[in-house]
Structure 1
Amino acid sequence: MIDRWAYHAAKHIKQVVPQHSASLAVLTFSLSIVINTVSIVLVTIFLSLLLGTFKQSMIIMVTFAILRMFTGGYHLKSGLHCILVSSLLFVLLSIVTLPTIYCIIFTCMSIMLILYYAPSNIDKHSRIPKTYYIWLKVMGCLLVAVNLVVLSLPFALAFFVQAISLIRRR
């Protein structure tokens, strides 16, 4: 569905601006990423406002996204599934309350998962040369390690779920 919307929008752009340098395929791919991202943000905002967890949901969504830039992770096969799963995950995590010890446990587990698996599944989604992958791992670990000082449960939950998404069969 998302790909179809992106294709029709790209086709329209090519009709309006035929000299546009990007191919139809490149425009379609780029627009599908934009539609997907904007949809996740809007659905998360809507659901979190309904539940009264706006601040926590936004913290989780942004934290998850920042760590994902450094570490990569699993990609769902459908843009619609990505929107639904991501938005629901961000909002559901925002209602979790746990003692501080779990914040430390989830943060430490995230660091271990990042050390072992990161970066994961970015070779097809990034132009970053493999020689820099070690720095992505280091940046991911440092980002998560900051939470050992901050002790934010939303950070810990977002980091942990993102770290779990790194796991894949080898």
Structure 2
Amino acid sequence: MIEYLAERTAQHIKHMVPHHPSSIAVLKYGLSIVINITLIILVTMLLSTLLGTFHPAMIIMFSFALLRQLTGGYHLKTGMGCVAFSSLLFVTLSMMTLPTIYCIILTCMSIILILFYAPSHLANHSRIFETYYPLLKIAGCFLVAINLYVLSVPVALAFFVQSVSLIRRR
């Protein structure tokens, strides 16, 4: 559905502005990313509002996305799969409560996973040069370590799940 919508929109843009320098393929790729992110945000907002977990879901979604930009992570094969999985993940995590000690444990485990695996799966999904990968690892660890001061359970859950997505099977 996302691919179809992006394709149709790209064709319409190209039809309306035929001299636009971007090809339909480039427009489709960019539009599919925007549509994917928009759907994840909207579905998460809707479901979390219905379940009364809007605030923690937004914290989780923002924390997850921020760490993902620094460390990469596994990508699902389809856009709709990504929307469904991500939205359900964020909403499910927003319903969880844990004692503070688990917040500390999850945060420390996230730092360890980042040290070993970050950045991961960035090669075909980012324009960042490999020479900057060590800086991304440090930035990711620093971001997660802030939660040792803040002690936010939703943030710890988001960081931990994102850190697990870094693990690659060889």
Mapped partners of 1:128, 1:111: distance in 2:
21
1:40 aligns with 2:40: yes
Question: How far has the Cα of 1:163 moved from its partner?
Answer: 0.2
Q: Please give the alpha-carbon distance, in whole angstroms, between the structure 1 residues aligned to 2:46 and 2:99.
A: 28
SS across alignment from 2:69: helix
Matches within 5 A, 1:149-168: 149-168=149-168
Given residue 25 of structure 1, which amino acid in structure 2 is its aligned partner?
Answer: A
Q: CA RMSD in A?
A: 0.5
Displacement of 1:169:
1.3
Corresponding position of 1:23: 23
Match of 2:117 in 1: 117
Aligned to 1:80: 80
Q: Distance in 2 between matches of 1:66 and 1:21?
A: 31
1:53-100 Cα distance to aligned partner (Å, 9 max, x none): 000000000000000000000000010010000000001000101110
The residue identity in structure 2 corresponding to 1:91 is: V
TM-score, reference length from structure 1: 0.99
Structure 1 stretches of 4+ with a deviation exceeding 2 A read none
Aligned to 1:2: 2
The aligned length equals 170
Separation (CA, whole Å) in 2 of partners of 1:98 and 1:63: 17
**Residues 112-162 of structure 1: CA distance to partner in whole angstroms, max 9, x if unpaired?**
000000000001011111000000000000000000011000000000000
Percent sequence identity is: 65
Could you list the runs of 5+ residues in structure 1 that have no partner in the other structure? none
